[in-house]
A and B are shown apart, each in its own frame.
Chain A
Amino acid sequence: GNSVTQMEGPVTLSEEAFLTINCTYTATGYPSLFWYVQYPGEGLQLLLKATKADDKGSNKGFEATYRKETTSFHLEKGSVQVSDSAVYFCALSDLTGGSYIPTFGRGTSLIVHP
């Protein structure tokens, strides 16, 4: 079956530090990959996506590249801000039982200190 593995948190950084959150996946087909962000008290929001190998998704200074050879989709940001503190979810969407059903990782909590 399909699965997504994320690094465990929390990740604690100082403002302006470099961020990497690792994500690897297992899929039976050729999935699309996503990063979602969840702020306290809210639902998940799409942060970025990539649909094929070597695609780079980017949004709000965050980037992730679809690496098929290593089955990875690591999230990076060059300079984090306090407002980036949230939980980040890696996810894939692939054909499962005739339908496209997403598979989510456990989420990684990011805490950014001033």
Chain B
Amino acid sequence: DAGVIQSPRHEVTEMGQEVTLRCKPISGHNSLFWYRQTMMRGLELLIYFNNNVPIDDSGMPEDRFSAKMPNASFSTLKIQPSEPRDSAVYFCASSLVSGTKNQPQHFGDGTRLSIL
């Protein structure tokens, strides 16, 4: 079975540019998470969707960050305008929430973002 698919794997762009990260969750999963990983701050949860609806976006650092999930098989994380401090690895993860709490998350391989 295909896992969580993220694109692009690497992105290098200049500050001020718009960046769009993409994620395709595992088919049948109904929860989707966006994370940011840096050496300084570790793994941070940015936003969480359940059945395509954003549930908790308290981790989104600023208004420059936005995320959408137009359907069950696709999500985007957008940064506009981008800044050098946004440089990090961004992970998407999905899971199946079925009323129990012990479902693990399945992570994509991440997008390594560098803002110059």
Q: What residues of chain A have their CB less than 8 Å away from a CB belonging to chain B? A: 31-32, 34, 36, 41-46, 49, 51, 89, 93-95, 97, 99-102, 104, 106-107
Contact = CB atoms under 8 A, between A and B. Distances in A.
Interface of B: 4, 33, 42-43, 45, 48, 50, 55-56, 91, 93, 97, 101-110
Contact of A43 (B55, B56, B109): B109
Given A97-B55, A107-B42, 15 more contacts: A36-B104, A41-B109, A42-B110, A43-B109, A43-B110, A44-B105, A49-B104, A89-B43, A93-B101, A93-B103, A99-B50, A99-B97, A101-B48, A102-B33, A106-B43
Contacts of B105: 44, 46, 102
B8 to A, nearest CB: 14
Contacts, number: 57
B109 A104 contact: no
B107 A99 contact: no
A44 B45 contact: no
Nearest to B92: A43
A34 B110 CA distance: 20
